[in-house]
Amino acid sequence: MENLTRPLCPSWCSVAHGDVESEPHQSAGFEVPVVHRDSSSRAIASVFVLVLSKKDGEPAFAYFGDGESAMLELGLDSARASLALIAAHLDLLEQ
């Protein structure tokens, strides 16, 4: 018999879950070409992917990285605050 109280996936989830209660919901990946510095301060051309994830009953996170050596995984409030700070300070370079 199907458990009718099992949480359903949010509309943005792209995972075909085997077990929705233990696996996080994840969005599709959104890619952007980037240039970033590696640990030796070399400029590296790469592709970063943004993926949103959330386990039922826990906070959501935004992953942004190359899947290998460069990544951030921030809570949503932290991601919003970081984006606002970056946007505000990038404008300083154009003054």
Judged by the rule CB under 5 A, the positions of this chain that interact with Zn ion are 9, 13, 15, 25
Q: Among residues 36 and 54, whose Cβ is nearest to Zn ion?
A: 54
Could you tell me the two tokens for 71? 């990544």
Q: Among residues 38 and 73, whose Cβ is nearest to Zn ion?
A: 73
Gap between the terminal Cα atoms of the chain? 65
Report the alpha-carbon distance of residue 79 to residue 50 in Å, rounded. 11
Q: Among residues 10 and 84, whose Cβ is nearest to Zn ion?
A: 10
At 65, give phi and psi (nearest 5°): 180, -175
Q: Taking Cα atoms as reference points, which of 66, 61, 91 lies closest to residue 78?
A: 61
Report the alpha-carbon distance of residue 6 to residue 41 in Å, rounded. 47
CB of 15 to Zn ion, least distance (A): 5
CB of 59 to Zn ion, least distance (A): 16
CB of 50 to Zn ion, least distance (A): 17
Q: Among residues 6 and 37, whose Cβ is nearest to Zn ion?
A: 6
